[in-house]
Amino acid sequence: MALCRGLADGGPGRERRRDMRPLVNIRTALRGPRDSRQRLLALSTVVNTIGMGIFLSAGTIFLIRSAGLSPTEAGIGLTAGSLCGFGAGVLIGDWADRRGSREVVIGSMLLEAVASISLLFVHSLWPLIVVAAAAAVGRAGTGGARGAMIGVLAEEGKGARLRSYLRSVTNVGLAIGTIGAAVVLAFDTRPAYVAVVLTDTITFLIAAAILARLPHIPPTRPSGQDSDTATTERRWVALRDAPYLALTAASSVASVQYFVLVPALPVWIVEHTEAPRWTAAIVLFFESILVTVAQVPATRSLDGPRSAGRLLALSGPLFLVAWIPIALAEDAAAWGALALLTFGVVVHASAEVWQAAGTFELSFALAKPEAQGQYQGVMGLGHGLAEAVAPIVVISMCVNWGKAGWISLALLVTAAGFACAFVERLWARAQGAVAAAKA
């Protein structure tokens, strides 16, 4: 349940040639991987995210307009429930490192399916908290174990590239899902919202069944290795890695931007602008298409952690440029509001692509290869905390505070992007010092 979810060869000349061939970039973004295991992972991802796209566009409105919760209750319930899953990603990611990631991802997805169908029985705050808690554990487990799976299935040194490709695939699924959400929002009836929940549940089950076709993925750190004291002490290495923890904290704050488009933007459009109600789904569809086309080409501008840090630093100011027109849509007539919202979403897509590409690169580059599940679980832990507090934060700031809230949140995300770049600089200096000492 989606309750609020060294890469380039060649120098600058080659990059300029890519810029002159946008159709090649589009084909590259949509081309599937050669590895059959990666293709199954991509297929599972696109099926899962079709349901996610429907739910992300209409799920929060479902809680308000169909389940009968107020916007504040929805925000509190999602936040409190998500906090209950805090820390699960590290434990489940470490389990995937030691047991194999395929079965762990499948189990986590099944838990998410149970949580999703349970939404049909939510009509007050406390049941929402329980359902959100189950979803948070499943989502954290899927994220941590999936990181371990990507680390095994990707070619050496190309985990960020595979993850960026999967994010492109994710946005294809989201784009398809938002079309269905537009229909749901146009009908605005209980049966239509029930269809959202059922679709979300079914896609979890199908996605898990697709992953079941993968062969068993061997553990990257067999559990027997933890029997001696020295290895046991190293088991939780990610939790003692100061640069990685700092990166996790900064990137988690920056990741709040994902919750601006969902759930805050749909509520903002429906409750505070004159734009047609279906705009909430259409602009998300448009943004998903833009991210799908641009995400994989964006990774080709990376040549290591330093360039990733630069992308993160540059993404922050773009969010400010994006969110100001979205805030101004409140005072515009219907079609003027639609134009402002569309412009804001286009700029937001560019900023999101840069931020995601930079985060993917650093999350793999700063992690130890044999413990990718644990490291990705730590990253998921931070992002899970951000996800837990984000609904009430972004709804309060963007929906309740109005224009001042949009601008304040943009400044916060900008500062977080600069912090990520600063962490990368410190990490690079430390690596250089270690290399010099060994020499």
Q: What is the pTM of this model?
A: 0.66
Amino acid letter, residue 349:
A
Dihedral sign of CA atoms 144, 159, 293, 410 in order: positive
User: What share of the chain has pLDDT > 70, as a percent?
Assistant: 85
Alpha helical stretches, state H, 188-274: 190-211, 229-235, 242-254, 258-259, 265-272
Cα distance between the two ends of the chain: 50
Amino acid letter, residue 305:
P
Q: Which of 33-37, 75-79, 190-194, 419-423 has the lowest mean pLDDT?
A: 33-37
Position 25 confidence tier, pLDDT thresholds 50, 70, 90: very low
The residue among 159 and 58 whose pLDDT is bigger is 58
Structure tokens at 7: 């890469």
What pLDDT digit, counting tens, does each position of 107-149 carry? 999 999 999 999 999 989 999 999 989 998 888 788 778 877 8
pLDDT at residue 12 in the model: 29
Q: Strand, helix or coil at 304? A: coil
Mean pLDDT over 405-420 rounds to 94
Nearest Cα neighbor of 223 from 100, 349, 61 is: 100
Q: Which of 34-38, 255-259, 406-410 has the lowest mean pLDDT?
A: 34-38
Do 37 and 153 form a contact (C-beta atoms < 8 A)? yes
Mean pLDDT over 384-413 rounds to 86
Instruction: Evaluate the omega torsion of the peptide bond into residue 263 and state whether it is cis, within 30 degrees of 0.
Output: yes
Q: Is 98 exposed, middle or buried (0-12, 13-18, 19+ CB in 10 A)?
A: buried
Domains, the chain, with CATH or none: 35-221+237-438 (1.20.1250.20)
Position 318 confidence tier, pLDDT thresholds 50, 70, 90: very high
Identify each DSSP E strand in 226-377 by its residue range.
Answer: none
pLDDT at residue 160 in the model: 60
> Using CA atoms, how far apart are residues 366 and 337, in angstroms rounded to an integer?
42
Distances from the Cα of 338 to the Cαs of 261, 277, 297, 334, in angstroms? 15, 10, 28, 6
